[in-house]
Amino acid sequence: MHSRREFLKRASAAGVGALTVSAITPSLSPLAAGESRSVVIGSGNGLAAVAKAMEMIRDGADALDAVVAGVNIVEDDPNDMTVGYGGFPNEDGVVELDAAVMHGPTHRAGAVASLRNIKNPSKVAKVVMERSDHVLLVGEGALRFARVHGFKEEDLLTDKARAEWLKWKENLSTHDDWLPAHTPETKDIGSVYEAYVRSTGTIHCSARDLKGNISCVTTTSGLAYKIPGRVGDSPIIGAGLYCDNEVGSAGSTGRGEANLVNCSSVMIVEFMRQGKTPEQACLDACKRIVDHNVMRRLKKDDGRPDFNVSFYAMNKRGELGSAALYSGAMFTFHDGATAQRKECAYLFKR
């Protein structure tokens, strides 16, 4: 019932010459004119999350309740070392979590950053939205807010994450985030993202519910072994996630700094507002990141970024798309029939 179509085309982006763009359309049956559907899209680690979210949507849940319940499964899972409990710690060995939610029908958002000791930051973010006049709380203030709302504190560092952190600490080389003074031409410093020890995994999930409302969530333990207090894109509305109930929703995983300086998620939603498909909007955001990536230390010898970023998007009708800078990235979705995992479209073949 699903069709899979691939095409190749030539494109160009400043600084890297002609690129091969390979786009793979989501394996969903096309919508007829005027038709729409309830769907859920997530990052590659989101199979259980999209399944849970769709189960709740079928029962009539609001899209935001559904996606938060979905990502809670991954936040609770010690084996996903990029999110919640068991996530990679900062350079001091302390787990600091970032998360944000955005609710399409009321165009509200809530977020927490550098939150310690609470394993479900996405739930706290939702309470920030519902029970405060603010959008973003950080650090000690976020923890105190969570405490007074009854969230239980616990040690989030598992033995497995502690062992990985120790390995990194005992083998420190260039794989940290402290940089000497440098120029745009400086290379071979701060080489972090290709190193086996660093991770920018995260979970994003967007959904359209039975009423046609759209919401989204992004939650993460952030960059492994980050400088304490480092905040990535995940809790920043417009960077790591964004939705407009009349247009669609978008979110991201990967190098958060690239999304922070490009406001990537709001850019994707605005591209969709202009009429681009979700996949094309994601690919165009990838190209924008490449165009803006002028620092030599963040480029490989071929001029391409030495990091990856992946995007996930859906439009108001429930059409989906996903793209990454490099091949091999995965996304998940639920079309109402099954939860599936597919490769994202991409700019560059690895």
> Which residue of 220, 280, 308, 310 would you call a contact of ligand GLY, by CB under 6 A?
220
- The least CB distance from residue 122 to ligand GLY, in Å, is 14
- The least CB distance from residue 81 to ligand GLY, in Å, is 13
Tokens of residue 318, six digits: 């429930």
Nearest to ligand GLY of 122, 200 (CB atom): 200
> Which residue of 114, 200, 277, 315 would you call a contact of ligand GLY, by CB under 6 A?
200
Tell me, yes or no, if 202 is annotated catalytic.
yes
- The least CB distance from residue 330 to ligand GLY, in Å, is 15
Collapse the DSSP code of 283 into the 3-class scheme (helix H, G, I; strand E, B; otherwise coil) and give the result: helix
254 binds ligand GLY (CB under 6 A): yes
Return the range that interacts with ligand GLY (CB under 6 A); candidates 3-11, 144-152, 158-166, 217-225.
Answer: 217-225
- The least CB distance from residue 235 to ligand GLY, in Å, is 9
- The least CB distance from residue 60 to ligand GLY, in Å, is 32
Residue 245's region, left for phi above 0, alpha for psi from -120 to 50, else beta, is alpha
> Which residue of 234, 245, 249, 293 would you call a contact of ligand GLY, by CB under 6 A?
234
Residue 121 identity (one-letter amino acid): P
159 contacts: CB under 8 Å, gap ≥ 6: none
Q: What is the number of alpha carbons within 13 Å of residue 90 lying toward its C-beta? A: 16
| Spatial distance between the Cα atoms of 195 and 182, rounded to a whole number of angstroms | 21
38 binds ligand GLY (CB under 6 A): no
281 contacts: CB under 8 Å, gap ≥ 6: 250, 268, 269, 271, 272, 313, 321
Got the DSSP string for 311-322?
EEEEETTS-EEE
- Out of 202, 218, 220, 277, the active site residue is 202
| Spatial distance between the Cα atoms of 281 and 206, rounded to a whole number of angstroms | 15
CA dihedral (220, 64, 119, 144) positive or negative: positive
Collapse the DSSP code of 53 into the 3-class scheme (helix H, G, I; strand E, B; otherwise coil) and give the result: helix
202 binds ligand GLY (CB under 6 A): yes
> Which residue of 42, 222, 248, 278 would you call a contact of ligand GLY, by CB under 6 A?
222
Return the range that interacts with ligand GLY (CB under 6 A); candidates 5-13, 208-216, 228-236, 265-273.
Answer: 228-236
- What is the total count of residues that contact ligand GLY (CB under 6 A)? 13
Nearest to ligand GLY of 306, 335 (CB atom): 306
223 binds ligand GLY (CB under 6 A): yes
Question: How many Cβ atoms from other residues are within 10 Å of residue 260's Cβ?
Answer: 16
Q: For the chain, what is the radius of gyration of the CA atoms?
A: 19
- The least CB distance from residue 260 to ligand GLY, in Å, is 8
Catalytic residues: 202
Interface residues with ligand GLY (CB under 6 A)? Answer: 200, 202, 220, 222-223, 232-234, 240, 253-256
